[in-house]
Amino acid sequence: MNIFFDEVHKIFKLDTPHTSYIMTIADGKYLGHAYYGAKIEDTDVAYLTRVFEPPFVPSTNGRDKLSFLDCFPMEYPTHGIGDFREDAFSIRTEDGHEACELFYKDHEIMRGKPSIQGLPATFGLSADTLTLRIDLEDPVLSLKVSLFYSVFADNDCIARSVQIGNLSNNDIYLTKVMSASMDTEGENLSLLTLNGSWARERWMQMNPLGLGFQGVSSDRGESSHQHHPFFALCSEGTDQKHGEVTAMHFVYSGNFTAKAYMGQFNNVRMMMGINGEDFCWKLSEGEIFRSPEVIMTYSGTGLGTMTRNLHALYRRHLIRSPFLHRPRPILINNWEATYFDFNTEKILAIAKQAAPLGIEMLVLDDGWFGNRFDDNRSLGDWFVNEEKLSGGLKNLVDEINKLGMKFGIWFEPEMISPESKLYEEHPDWAIQIPGRTAGLCRCQYVLDLTREEVKEYVFKCLTDICDNANIEYIKWDMNRQLADLGSRYLKKDQMGELSHRYVLAVYEIQERLLQRYPNLLLENCSGGGARFDPGMLYYSPQIWCSDDTDAIERLKIQEGTALIYPLSTMGAHVSDCPNHAVGRNTPFETRGYVALAGTFGYELDVTRIPEEDRAMIPAQTKMYHKYHELVAEGDYYRLASYASNHLYDAYMVVSEDKKEALLTYVQVLMRPNFHSRKLRLDGLAEDKMYKIYKYDISTGEEVPYMTEKTGPSAAATPRESALSGKALMNAGLLIESPWGDFKGILLVIREA
């Protein structure tokens, strides 16, 4: 890790362990991007910005500045001055002008990493993190724009953010503030994005990059089911182990845009930040605006390296929860078990069955408050429904605790139902535009969290419940997107701040909650996984991945999620069959193996499932305890993708010392006359010798795997001898096809 400024050539060079990021100051004032890629030693690479070729820089070619701006790789391009490609920054003055031009002014290299006030962000110590701040200035507007770059000693990611200061005496309206922009170039590039819908979150999509714009965005007020605040530019033929990948990932939970623009010279500009639609921030004299953070990473060895860079960064420098390295309590959630139809007896009956099976926490989902017998009413009325919970909440929690189980509860704090006491009293607390009938979604409105009294109300509702019973976990849900953007609180020239202020308020309430209950386990959720993003991870170490709990559908969802998030963050449960989302029947053990890739829990009525399934739960809970550390802390390797081969899925987690690994294989479809599949392993040490075991769910034991037959009719016997990592990674392992569809196998690979 190093940050260096070459005074002679006016070059900034940031080094991570394996990558370099280089910028240069051209013509004494234009900050340009020179290089991002594999680590290089040279600093004198200003030639890469092509300022020595025609049309030269403005000081030598004043008659044609626009040609310079049309091709110069501007590090932070601005609007209205003649760089006609996509800009990263735009403003409007009180006079209605929109031009802004930024010149290099100053810089500082510092140890550590400053936090970003009010926003989630990666963190680092002065011993393991360095930060560069480059100040740019528009002298006409008296506007200061500071670009921040942080590098980490143990990671190949770069954290970027922007800070805007208004040094003038006038109001300036910020109409677009990207957190990061980068100019590069290339041919035959592709763009990798994650897209989906409710119950189909984060499916991977690779599209060739053509001339013009391409990208993804959300203007739904949250990161969304539909598109994810991540994208990666990939060279031709990129796969898990090959290809150049440059990725951006947004540490933010609201509207975003991720845009790539390929221009006339095959130059590509990629940028990410708060979506400019619905955004207009009034910056008055002396005020500062801080952008959320973008994480960038470069890999010259395919997607696998990108994945492991991001996993490691988030584990070491983003997730703060004390639960990060702890086993999470194995929970049972009553949502798919009962939906709204429960009472104290039913919940206790579930808990009584669950506790002796090794399940450690009961989570009471939606429906415990107000008049909430269905999803048409009562959001905002966070007082206990004693018709359902006779004896009250504390009584239920105490009874659950007596069984040796923890207790967790569901909230949807950001919402208000039109049919609620809260709405009767405060109809103006809902986000709505006066005079226009606001649209409902799941029969609910969103609370205007920009208002102090609304934030206080929400916080008080949460703490009243938490203070009165032993609540050890909260599932914080958010089940609709923001529309009809109107606030009775914000002034008319600040209405464009609503969406961002809303997200800041969510962060503020979660921060206060965690300060007050430092041992609370928080799981964020949004209609499944619509707010699964790095911003939320700063507050909750786990996020509900999707309302699709079908193990086979989950393979795709979890593959896309694990592409950029550590497995320890993915909320994953074993649910009932036929599955409530797709009607599929999947063997109970396969459901367990797939949920093992996440936080692991149950979402079913354990009193009503088949006896043979219930009998398997003790071995499954034992399996979680045996392997959770490897799953949560190990390095992740994707071996095969059901999403692309439509037949089977396989992934590994490997311990840091490479002495132990876990391989999950799910055969989705069986093929006739097809007895085994050769699978090349990954991530092992070439020179170590390994033995392979299969986890036997019926006994909870590991048994030697890979059979050997001495003749065509001889019985198969387990292979006892070891194989080298080199053999397993090059020649591969034979996976015997299990008989039937949807069959999972869990293999343990141990140094012999």
Residues 6+ apart with CB under 8 A from 319: 537, 538, 541, 566, 569
Question: By the 8 A CB rule, do 587 and 744 touch?
Answer: yes
d(CA 337, CA 351): 12
Q: Where are the beta strands (DSSP E) in 11-116?
A: 11-15, 19-26, 30-38, 89-93, 103-111
C-beta closer to ligand GLA: residue 287 or 374 = 374
Nearest distance in Å: CB 512, ligand GLA: 23
Under the binding rule (CB under 6 A), the answer on residue 55 touching ligand GLA is no
Question: By the 8 A CB rule, do 351 and 392 touch?
Answer: no
Secondary structure (3-state) at 506:
helix
C-beta closer to ligand GLA: residue 477 or 589 = 477
Under the binding rule (CB under 6 A), the answer on residue 527 touching ligand GLA is yes
Instruction: Report how far Cα 438 is from the mean position of its chain's Cα atoms.
Output: 30
Q: Which spans in 366-437 are helix H? A: 392-402, 421-425
Nearest distance in Å: CB 529, ligand GLA: 8
Under the binding rule (CB under 6 A), the answer on residue 365 touching ligand GLA is yes
DSSP state of 139: T
One-letter amino acid of 339: Y
- Phi/psi at 264 (nearest 5 deg)? -60, -25
Site for ligand GLA in 322-341 (CB under 6 A): 335
Q: How far is CA 392 from CA 365, 377, 385, 386, 468, in A?
A: 15, 20, 8, 6, 10
Secondary structure (3-state) at 623:
helix
Q: How far is CA 49 from CA 54, 76, 260, in A?
A: 12, 14, 19
Under the binding rule (CB under 6 A), the answer on residue 366 touching ligand GLA is yes
d(CA 252, CA 299): 23
Catalytic annotation, pick one of 547, 548, 613, 635: 547
Site for ligand GLA in 368-387 (CB under 6 A): 375
Nearest distance in Å: CB 410, ligand GLA: 6
Nearest distance in Å: CB 547, ligand GLA: 5
Angle at alpha carbon of residue 388, lines to 385 and 389, rounded to 5°: 75
Under the binding rule (CB under 6 A), the answer on residue 571 touching ligand GLA is no
Nearest distance in Å: CB 354, ligand GLA: 18
Q: Among residues 76, 104, 410, 648, which is the contact residue for ligand GLA, using CB under 6 A?
A: 410
Catalytic annotation, pick one of 183, 219, 278, 477: 477
434: left (phi over 0), alpha (psi -120 to 50) or beta: beta
Site for ligand GLA in 466-485 (CB under 6 A): 477, 479
C-beta closer to ligand GLA: residue 528 or 587 = 528
Under the binding rule (CB under 6 A), the answer on residue 542 touching ligand GLA is no
d(CA 101, CA 145): 10
Under the binding rule (CB under 6 A), the answer on residue 289 touching ligand GLA is no
Secondary structure (3-state) at 513:
helix
Count of residues that interact with ligand GLA, criterion CB under 6 A: 12
One-letter amino acid of 96: G
Would you call 547 a catalytic residue per the annotation?
A: yes
Q: Among residues 544, 565, 624, 637, which is the contact residue for ligand GLA, using CB under 6 A?
A: 544
- On the CB side of 517, CA atoms within 13 Å amount to 21
Would you call 6 a catalytic residue per the annotation?
A: no
Nearest distance in Å: CB 341, ligand GLA: 13
Nearest distance in Å: CB 167, ligand GLA: 46
Residue closest to ligand GLA, measured at CB: 366
Q: Among residues 486, 528, 592, 598, which is the contact residue for ligand GLA, using CB under 6 A?
A: 528
Under the binding rule (CB under 6 A), the answer on residue 547 touching ligand GLA is yes
C-beta closer to ligand GLA: residue 219 or 547 = 547
C-beta closer to ligand GLA: residue 547 or 613 = 547
d(CA 287, CA 289): 7
Nearest distance in Å: CB 389, ligand GLA: 17
C-beta closer to ligand GLA: residue 101 or 366 = 366
Q: Which residues bind ligand GLA (CB under 6 A)?
A: 335, 365-366, 375, 410, 477, 479, 525, 527-528, 544, 547
Catalytic residues: 477, 547
